[in-house]
Structure 1
Amino acid sequence: MTAESLDLFADQPGLHWPQVRGWLQGHGELLAADRALLEELGLRPHGPNVVDFAPAALTRLEAEVERETDARKRIEAVARANFAAQTQTHVAALDLMEARSNSDLARRLDATAQGRFGLAGAAVGLEKPGAVPFGWKALEPGRVDALVGEDGLHWLGPNFDGLNLFGQTEEAVASVALIRMAPAITPGQAPRAGIVAFGSPDPEGFHPAMGCELAAFVARVVERMAERWPAIDA
């Protein structure tokens, strides 16, 4: 919008910006001589017919620099947090790869969730029928679809009654991340539906708007590791 089109006096009959602007151009000495008005406008008189716009310009520049600095700091903080989370996730994967059995895998997952990510705990569930490794949660057929949706890969949100995946730490869990998996854990049979669950003590620890790529990565590690030790019915 140009100065000629900016009419701040449209609601005042007989007074319009083009005329006001023209009058100021013809009587600039009056504005330059009014030090009080210039100071209110953030300007500084500097000799006859000269007005120093530096204070106003500098103020705007400083405000812009401050906004850019704050934005940069926020971006840097997010980048540092993401890098730290990725590093911890990679280390967690190495911890899981040291497992010696599926029960050890579940134990390591829970310990890693608490020790490295500050969570209340983590658990692994597997649908019946079929053998379920010690330390895993036995789930009824169709339970995974009920939790994450028939076509869903994950679900994030508040903990709810009836989930019952975290054992003794269930009461400490305020929000959960549920990741679908399907390990080929039973010889001669198709992969079985399962789930990897993470529980946070923070109600906003997991929520639908957040991404879960790192949690899904850990779940994939659990899924592949679980296939090392077949679950055979006794």
Structure 2
Amino acid sequence: MSTQLPRAVTPLADELREKIISDPDMVLEDLDVMRALIAANERGTGANVVDLRGLAMERLEERLERLEDTHRGVIAAAYENLAGTNQIHRAVLQLLQPTQFTEFLNALSGEVAQTLRLDSVKLLLETKVTEEEPAIRKLGKVLITAEPGFIENYITYGRNVPVRPVTLRQVSPETDVIHGDSFVHSEALMTLDLGLGRLPGLLIFGAEDPHMFRPTQGTDLLTFFAGVFERMMRRYLG
């Protein structure tokens, strides 16, 4: 005579048991279910027993969560960089369309500014002419001129520091000479080499958002844009 007691189960419990046996990954991959099972096991071991395996699992879970957060951050940064690359490429194509210098400047302050989501665009050229020539005044508000040495002084605030190809920063009272009392709160400064025997130039992007241009940002895309822009300027300057 058998002394084994019958297993008290309901049809639903049998069905669930068979499902778990046939597909155990369904339980193992569910973190909430696994936590509930581990917690039930810890309650059964008593308060004077330390579950080292459980502690190790918790630390591994925390590490996994940090890795997943880092992974999401890397993916987000990659998408942002791709979007920025596409914007720069569209802006370069828009600059290649004009055939006249006036049209070139109009595209810079129009389509290009809209594509790059800029609130202000300035092209500064150093010149030995003390007053603006009539031909320069006809080119609109995008093009401005300054005496030799102005660009270096503007970028460095007069300090003895090296001038970088691209400088990103928030505006300050020293930048009022370019932006005046305007809504621009951050700027990107790109130095332009206009060729042998010519004074340098400076391409200035301005944004109302004070965080659009920050010193901690990468400058590869703007360096590329400036390189294309200065080569186009050499073509117009002859």
Q: Give the structure-1-normalised TM-score.
A: 0.66
State the alpha-carbon separation in 2 of the partners of residues 79 and 115 from structure 1. Answer: 23
* 1:158 maps to 2:170: yes
| Corresponding residue of 1:95 | 94
Displacement, 1:197?
Answer: 0.3
Displacement, 1:160?
Answer: 3.0
Q: Determine helix, strand or coil for the equivalent of 2:236.
A: coil
| Corresponding residue of 2:16 | none
Task: Answer yes or no: is the 8 Å Cα contact 1:124–1:194 preserved in 2.
Answer: yes
Q: Determine helix, strand or coil for the equivalent of 1:229.
A: helix
Unaligned runs of 5+ in 1: 1-38
| Corresponding residue of 2:192 | 181
State the alpha-carbon separation in 1 of the partners of residues 73 and 126 from structure 2. Answer: 43
Aligned pairs, how many? 184
Trace 1:195-234 onto structure 2 (pairs within 5 A): 195-230=202-237
Trace 1:20-169 onto structure 2 (pairs within 5 A): 43-45=42-44, 55-129=54-128, 133=136, 134-135=139-140, 136-149=143-156, 151-152=162-163, 153-161=165-173, 162-165=175-178
| Corresponding residue of 2:14 | none
Q: Deviations over 1:184-225 (max 9, x none)?
A: 4xxxx7122110001111112222232222122212222111
Q: Determine helix, strand or coil for the equivalent of 2:188.
A: strand
Displacement, 1:175?
Answer: 0.8
State the alpha-carbon separation in 2 of the partners of residues 58 and 46 from structure 1. Answer: 17
Displacement, 1:50?
Answer: 8.7
Task: Answer yes or no: is the 8 Å Cα contact 1:113–1:121 preserved in 2.
Answer: no
Aligned CA RMSD, in angstroms, stands at: 3.0
| Corresponding residue of 1:13 | none
State the alpha-carbon separation in 2 of the partners of residues 51 and 196 from structure 1. Answer: 66
Task: Answer yes or no: is the 8 Å Cα contact 1:44–1:53 preserved in 2.
Answer: no
State the alpha-carbon separation in 2 of the partners of residues 90 and 227 from structure 1. Answer: 20
Displacement, 1:45?
Answer: 3.7
The 1:227–1:62 alpha-carbon spacing in structure 2 relative to 1, beyond 3 Å, is: same
Displacement, 1:72?
Answer: 0.6
State the alpha-carbon separation in 2 of the partners of residues 127 and 163 from structure 1. Answer: 18
The structure that is helix-richer by fraction is 2
Task: Answer yes or no: is the 8 Å Cα contact 1:122–1:166 preserved in 2.
Answer: no
Identity %: 28
Q: Give the structure-2-normalised TM-score.
A: 0.65
State the alpha-carbon separation in 2 of the partners of residues 44 and 215 from structure 1. Answer: 60
Q: Determine helix, strand or coil for the equivalent of 2:78.
A: helix
Unaligned runs of 5+ in 2: 1-38
The 1:127–1:52 alpha-carbon spacing in structure 2 relative to 1, beyond 3 Å, is: closer
